[in-house]
Structure formats: structure tokens, C-alpha cells
């Protein structure tokens, strides 16, 4: 059948596949989509990418190929090509895929569109921080200059989704927070850890989210974390999997086949070997990140929390803290954010 794309657009798609994937990765992608690479030309990556496109074009399944590709390698131009493809059927499910950090207000527009379409929102966890809140060296108040490990970290700009807008797309009617709550928001936090130069290495990191009501007259307990994700992941857990947030505002793993029940689907990537979340139901939730003998504690990790407020809070004020423990020639050293960084890692949650 004729291609739905122009020659230039087909070339763009071929170049994207050849540039963003290795030949082995494209073969794996092909296998995951039910196509043996032996059926296709694969002498070079360009030939294999072209053959892969032709295979799915002839079967009117380009949507499946492009969707699988941009899940692994988000790309705005290719996502625009995907948006131009016709639905596979009249009953085809519509998903709004949030691939990366968006300009202020864009996430809200997507949520509003999802509400109007009565479809689900799918959030794909990025592989890197797009919008940086702060980046620099951590400091230690107890170690003299010259002896301290110089750990450089990046903290991402927090991202916020209104759970009411997302969840009512699934329950089929106006959704309201559980009894006793004023509002609830899904928040995504991110940090990048880099091991210090030399022999020093990071042995543990703690990311804490401090919450307080926006109304200074309200009780401190009126702003808190209702649930956290992840709450416990180890080396044995998969590095990529699906999670979901349902009307009861609790996270759940392995939601394959249940997207019609869950309001928000999250495609998650675990980078740090061990992740443990603590403080659900409290105003100071935190995650502890640890390495493993075979895997160092470095890279970019995203975590999620549902932030809830009770009547009278008028929203919440929040700030992020990052504490890193590094093993140096002097022993273990605790490093934290410098004072000037704290203004950059604070944000507000609307009432």
C-alpha cells in the first residue's frame, strides 16, 4: 500500500532510526514487535531501518513501529509524524504521551484535552533532566577545603500534574479527592549523581521533599505526601516497567492490560540499583538511593509522589534537599546543597 508519508518524511524516519539506535537495538525492537530480523535486509543499519519501515508500511502498522521507537528514544519531530497517522480503528484508544519536561501550562492543556476526549494520560519517564533547577558542587560543613570530595549533582525542575484532571478521564465523571482532602497533585522529582573524581565514590544518597501548607495559619499536617513511587526497588527488579495511579491515589506496578482502570499510566525507568521510599502520609517524605557491588550509584533518577492537602492549607510550599554520602580517603563524608542552591529547589503547589 502507499506510504502515508512523503519521501522526505520517510527519509526523516529512516535517519532517526539509524542515528538513535544501534543495529542490535533495532533488531531487538523488531523482535519485540514480532518481526524476525532475518526477514529483513540487515547488512547495514541504514538498510535495516529502511526495510523495517517498509515492512510496517505494507501491513499498515507504522503506528506500532513509531510508538515503540519513541518510547525508547523520545523525539518531537517523530512524534509529530505519529500524530499524523490515522487511527487503527474507529474504536482506537487515544493516549496523550508526555515524553519530557514541558513549558509551563502545556501539561495542563494536555490534561484538559484528555478530559474532553475522556482518554487516559500516559507519562513516559525521561532518560535525562531537560529543565535544570540547580547544578553544582555539594558541600560539607565538617571537612576542610581540599579534603572534601567534590560531588557535582543536578536537580531537575519539579513537574506537577493535577490528579483531578487526569483521573476523571477514566472514572467517566467529575472526580474529587478522597474524603477529607482539599486537593491532590502528582509530582515528579529528578536528580543526577556523578561520582567524585579520583578514588572517592558515592555510597548513598537521600532525596527529601519538605512540605508545608501555603496558609501559615494552617496546621503543618495539612500538606503531606499521600503515596510515593517507587517505594522499594532492588537490583533484581526490572529497569523498565509500567506503573499506574488510580482513583484511590495509590501507585501500582505491572498494570499491563489494566489501562482502562487506571487514570494515569507511568512508563518508569530505574537507573539507581536500589531505591527505597519512606514517609508516605507525612510532610517529609524521602527516598534513599544505594549502589550495588556491580552497579555504581550514578546517573539520572526520577521519582514520583502524590501530594495531598487538607482544607485550610490553600495549597503547599515545597523544597527539595539532596544529601550524598561519599567514601573518601578520610572516610565517609556527608555532602549537601550549599545555601545559595536552596532558593532554586523550592516550588509551590496550587490550592
Q: Choose the final residue of a domain: 63, 84, 105.
A: 84
Indicate the average pLDDT of the chain: 82
Residues 6+ apart with CB under 8 A from 42: 23, 27, 48, 51
**Domain end residue (candidates: 84, 107, 138):** 84
Instruction: Indicate whether 340 and 224 sit together in one domain.
Output: yes
- Whether residue 51 is found in the same domain as residue 139: no
On whether both 137 and 234 belong to a single domain, the answer is yes
Looking at the fold, whether 54 and 136 belong to one and the same domain comes out as no
> What pLDDT score was predicted for residue 73?
87
In a domain, 91, yes or no: no
Using the 8-state DSSP alphabet, how is residue 127 labeled?
S
- Whether 61 and 155 share a structural domain: no
Domain tally for the chain? 2
How many angstroms separate the CA atoms of 328 and 333, rounded? 7
Does residue 103 lie in a domain region? Answer: yes
50-56 long-range contacts, Cβ below 8 Å, gap at least 24?
50/14, 52/17, 52/26, 53/10, 53/13, 53/14, 53/17
Q: What is the sign, positive or negative, of the torsion defined by CA atoms of 215, 218, 220, 225? A: negative
Determine, yes or no, domain membership for 258.
yes
Statement to judge: residues 26 and 145 lie in one domain: no
Compute the distance between CA of residue 284 and CA of residue 262 in angstroms, rounded to an integer.
27
Task: Specify whether 178 is located in the same domain as 306.
Answer: yes
Q: Is 130 in the same domain as 258?
A: yes
Instruction: Tell me, yes or no, whether 104 lies in a domain.
Output: yes
DSSP string, 5-42: S-HHHHHHHHHHHHHHS-HHHHHHHHHHTT--GGGS--
The answer as to whether 66 is a domain residue is yes
148 pLDDT more than 60: no
| Predicted local distance difference test score (pLDDT) of residue 261 | 46
pLDDT of residue 192: 97
Its pTM stands at 0.67
Do both 166 and 35 map to the same domain?
no
Evaluate whether residue 47 is within a structural domain.
yes
Please report the pLDDT score of residue 245 as a whole number: 82
Together in a domain, 211 and 159: yes
In a domain, 237, yes or no: yes
Residue pointed to by grid coordinates 538498510: 47
Q: Which of 33, 53, 84 is the last residue of a domain?
A: 84
Compute the radius of gyration of the chain from its Cα atoms.
Answer: 22
Per the structure, the complete domain to which residue 120 belongs is given by 97-349
Within this chain, do residues 172 and 39 fall inside the same structural domain, yes or no? Answer: no
**pLDDT tens sequence across 271-281:** 999 999 999 99
Amino acid at each position: 500500500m502507499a506510504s502515508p508519508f512523503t519521501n522526505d518524511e520517510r527519509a526523516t524516519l529512516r535517519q532517526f532510526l539509524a542515528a538513535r539506535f544501534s543495529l542490535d537495538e533495532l533488531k531487538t525492537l523488531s523482535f519485540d514487535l514480532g518481526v524476525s530480523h532475518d526477514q529483513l535486509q540487515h547488512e547495514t543499519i541504514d538498510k535495516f531501518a529502511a526495510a523495517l519501515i517498509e515492512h510496517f508500511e505494507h501491513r499498515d502498522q507504522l503506528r506500532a513501529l513509531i510508538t515503540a521507537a519513541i518510547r525508547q528514544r523520545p523525539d518531537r519531530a517523530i512524534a509529530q509524524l505519529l500524530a499524523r497517522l490515522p487511527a487503527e480503528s474507529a474504536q482506537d484508544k487515544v493516549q496523550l504521551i508526555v515524553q519530557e519536561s514541558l513549558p509551563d501550562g502545556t501539561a495542563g492543556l494536555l490534561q484538559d484535552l484528555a478530559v474532553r476526549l475522556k482518554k487516559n494520560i500516559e507519562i513516559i519517564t525521561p532518560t535525562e533532566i531537560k529543565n535544570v533547577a540547580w547544578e553544582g558542587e555539594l558541600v560539607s560543613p565538617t571537612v576542610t577545603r581540599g579534603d572534601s570530595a567534590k560531588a557535582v549533582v543536578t536537580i531537575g525542575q519539579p513537574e506537577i500534574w493535577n490528579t483531578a484532571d487526569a483521573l476523571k478521564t477514566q472514572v467517566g465523571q467529575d472526580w474529587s479527592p478522597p474524603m477529607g482532602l482539599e486537593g491532590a497533585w502528582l509530582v515528579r522529582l529528578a536528580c543526577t549523581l556523578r561520582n567524585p573524581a579520583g578514588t572517592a565514590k558515592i555510597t548513598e544518597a537521600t532525596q527529601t521533599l519538605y512540605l508545608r501548607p501555603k496558609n501559615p495559619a494552617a496546621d503543618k499536617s495539612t500538606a503531606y505526601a499521600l503515596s510515593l513511587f517507587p517505594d522499594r526497588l532492588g537490583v533484581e527488579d526490572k529497569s523498565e516497567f509500567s506503573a499506574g495511579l488510580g482513583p484511590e491515589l495509590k501507585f501500582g506496578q505491572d498494570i499491563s492490560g489494566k489501562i482502562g482502570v487506571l487514570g494515569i499510566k507511568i512508563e518508569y525507568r530505574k537507573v539507581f540499583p536500589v531505591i527505597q521510599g519512606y514517609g508516605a502520609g507525612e510532610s517529609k517524605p524521602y527516598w534513599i538511593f544505594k549502589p550495588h557491588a556491580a552497579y555504581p550509584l550514578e546517573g539520572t533518577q526520577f521519582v514520583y509522589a502524590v501530594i495531598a492537602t487538607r482544607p485550610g492549607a490553600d495549597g503547599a510550599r515545597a523544597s527539595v534537599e539532596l544529601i550524598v554520602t561519599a567514601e573518601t580517603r578520610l572516610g565517609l563524608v556527608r555532602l549537601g546543597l550549599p545555601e545559595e542552591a536552596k532558593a532554586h529547589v523550592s516550588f509551590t503547589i496550587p490550592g
